[in-house]
Structure 1
Amino acid sequence: MGSQILNIAIRADGGKQIGMGHIMRCLSLANAFRQGGHRVSFISKLDEGIERIGLDQFAVIRLPLVEQATKCSFFGDAERLAETCKMIDILSDDKIDILIIDSYHVNEEYFRTLKPHVKRLVYVDDINAFPYPADIIVNGNITGKYLTYRKYNEQQLLLLGPCYNMIRSEFSHLPVRIVNEQVQEIMLTTGGSDPYHITTRLLRVMLQHEQCRTLRFNVLVGGGFANINDLISLQHSHENVFLFANSAIIHEFPEIVYSEISPLMLRSDLAISAGGSSLYEFAACGTPVMAFIMADNQEFIVQKMAELGYIHNLGWHDRLTDNAFMDGLLTLINAVQQRKDMSCKGQSLVDGKGTERIVNRIIQSLEAN
């Protein structure tokens, strides 16, 4: 089995409303499989996610957004029923060995219907919503070991905790962070999308404050942003605002400069971020973070990371007042030792080898049979 080339399919979506976190971590896993010589393709629905997958040159099979149920005996809502029927055809036609699913739009019957058609069914999870009938469960979050997973059966493999975090290879082998006494640059990111326009709001608040006017702001613009022109206007009117992206939107908006993510995180003394997978990337870079919550699945992660001293918790975005935000920011800017402690703890949390460990455990589980 060690020398056998495996066919792997990954089911994940990314878009303006759901963000790009599922796509980005699955791309990390896909690249790890590809480096091992295996064939990887994606199954996806939304344009933004499909476009991002294409940048890494993986084949994508597009699922229709809505399709009427046909001949399948799967019981569920019409779209999930139709998706499962289509998925079975794909698994059969492409002779898929391993199916990896990273989606919250699943139920027990969804897994049960697909499982017989592959050698290994893998589910990438964040929330432990119910006992999943999959062969392998992956939760690389800091909360993974606190969610009291119960095995669906004795054979099920649970890969839990930050040692299985699907961080991208650009965040491995980074140097130990030297924390500057004075904060000079702040990074601002909400990930691949910003449906609540938080980036614009917080940037305006900081630009209006006297103590922030000498700071440089490195703003990451996601491919799913709907208010890019507002950010460009702020950049034009403030010489200390710089817009960056690591997606194809740079071709549509020449004012935005292309950049990989890790160099922005490494050059920034402090970051303001949504509570998604970016928190682990900041940790690897040793960049102190103030995190706000944008979605239910982020709440426990942000709370636990703050409780353990890795980040500063700003709470839910819609309950965060401008004054509370600025009070927290100015406090952390002036708390040099706290920033040093956060940086040191963060760099000990993830080592960038999570995807390699996941790939090895999946392949080992096949070899054991």
Structure 2
Amino acid sequence: MQVVIRTDASVRIGIGHVMRCLTLAASLRKNGAFVQFVCREHPGHLCDYIQHQGFAVQRLDAVQRSEIDESSQQGYESWLGDSWSRDADQTSDIMSRNRSSVDWLIVDHYAIDSRWEERTRKLANRTMVIDDLANRVHSCDVLLDQNLYANMEGRYRSLIPESCLQLLGPRYALLREEFQNARKNARTRSGSVRRILVFFGGSDPTNETEKALKAIKRLQQSDILVDVVVGGSNNRRQHIEALCSQMANVHFHCQIDYMSELMAKADLAIGAGGSATWERCYLGLPALVVTTAANQVEVTEAVSRAGALIYLGHFEQVSAQTIFDALLVLLSRLEEVSGMSRKALELMPAAESGGAEYVAGLLMK
């Protein structure tokens, strides 16, 4: 089976789309599929990292802003880094060079809609879209949205073909195999906070990591161990590493492949919304969450209402003082921390043999 995945990472986009696609790609490869990626070389792209995972990457050149008709691009559409039509033609050209037909084209990109999907459809037998915005029309056979919403079943009703199979909710979350293994030993936390994990995504463009570090430093509790994780696309990673080195109880980690291990050890996380929400919940890890992108807000609010995290607000309204105050309260509320852990596990039942494995098996049929 031939599979092509069109997705991107960048300082602006973040790394979440690529990382969840890599998870699905690994499950597809395990089932015998040949998977290749099509990615544009934005600043902060992960093309080299994808190749390091053993997948072929067809690279699209980063386009100079002067070459793009910016007047025709609004909002997420500008994240593509080129016009949708040229991007679709470039992707179609790549697929046409395959020795055999493409069985599945998988698209995970906020800038792509039905226009792009219709143009590439003739070169792939079937198309799958991974989305969580529900803000544009899609032309696809399968749609996956792994997030939690109040009106989950009806969000895409007018945006996809009637025949499209919808895979909706956290039970389909694309979690890496390391999380599947760690889930076997997942525990409800006691509520005592002796280890904190700080992770605000691969690029952390709003520098929430530094806010968290300042808050933790103010606690002056050297008996609490802290793991700080940043991605290779974080432009402030050297500065963050220097800050960590000044705190005896803080360990710095960059672009790691053992996140599940750190989450399993932690008693509390401080981080952003997005894909990490489901990783934390899957392992029963309570969290203080700051949203760093508009598309994270609705999901974070829903998970907060479910009792699995505490939402501190959007980054513009959150300071180091905000995080410090929340930490100070939680450290004395063991039952609340333990309750968050229990509700996080309940929110993410180990169903469908793990989201990635289930979805891969479905596509292989």
TM-score (normalizing by structure 1): 0.87
* Equivalent residue number for residue 355 of structure 1: 356
Aligned to 1:43: 38
SS in 2 for 1:26: helix
- Residue 265 of structure 2 is aligned to residue 292 of structure 1: no
Is the CA contact (8 Å cut-off) linking 2:89 and 2:120 kept in structure 1? no
Q: Is the 8 A contact 2:129 2:140 kept in 1?
A: yes
Provide TM-score, normalisation by structure 2. Answer: 0.88
**What displacement does 1:130 show?**
2.1
| Maintained 8 Å contact 1:10/1:41 | yes
**In structure 1, how many angstroms separate the alpha carbons of the residues matched to 2:328 and 2:277?**
20
2:194 alignment partner in structure 1? 184
> What 5-or-longer segments of structure 2 have no aligned partner?
69-76
Q: How much is the aligned-residue C-alpha RMSD, in angstroms?
A: 2.0
Provide structure 1 residue ranges, at least 5 long, that are not aligned to the other structure: 1-5, 70-75, 248-258, 365-369
Q: CA deviation at 1:45?
A: 1.1
Corresponding position of 1:56? 53
Percent of matched pairs sharing the same residue:
28
After TM superposition, give the deviation of residue 155 of structure 1 in Å. Answer: 1.4
Mapped partners of 2:279, 2:249: distance in 1: 24
Please tell me whether residue 17 in structure 1 is matched to residue 15 in structure 2.
no
CA gap of 1:176–1:260, structure 2 versus 1, over 3 A, is: closer
Residues in 1 aligned to 2:271 and 2:154: alpha-carbon distance in whole angstroms: 24
- Range 97-106 or range 231-240, more displaced: 231-240
Q: Measure the CA separation in 1 of the matches of 2:360 and 2:242.
A: 44
Q: Say yes or no: does 1:165 pair with 2:173.
A: yes
Partner of 1:246: 255
Deviation per residue, 1:274-296 (Å, 9 max, x gap): 10101111111111111110001
Aligned to 1:234: 243
Q: Give, in whole Å, the separation in 2 of the partners of 1:336 and 1:237.
A: 29
Choose the corresponding residue for 1:145, options 140, 152, 156. 152
Q: 1:355 corresponds to which letter in structure 2?
A: A
Shift of 1:10: 0.5
Q: Distance in 1 between matches of 2:46 and 2:193?
A: 34
Farther-moved stretch of structure 1 (158-167 vs 30-39): 158-167
Which residue in 1 is equivalent to 2:304? Answer: 306
Aligned with 1:115 (options 117, 121, 130): 121
Alpha-carbon spacing, 1:334–1:360, altered in 2? closer, same or farther (3 Å):
same
Note the C-alpha offset of 1:115: 1.5
Match of 2:74 in 1: none
Does structure 2 retain, via aligned residues, the 8 Å contact 1:185–1:268? yes
Q: Do the aligned residues in 1 keep the contact of 2:50 with 2:57 (CA within 8 Å)?
A: yes
- Choose 124-133 or 230-239, whichever is displaced more: 230-239
User: Retained in 2: the 8 A contact 1:138–1:158?
Assistant: yes
1:272-330 CA-to-partner distances (Å, cap 9, x unmatched) read 01101011111111111111100011011100000111111011011113333222122
The CA deviation at 1:181 is 4.4
Number of paired residues? 341
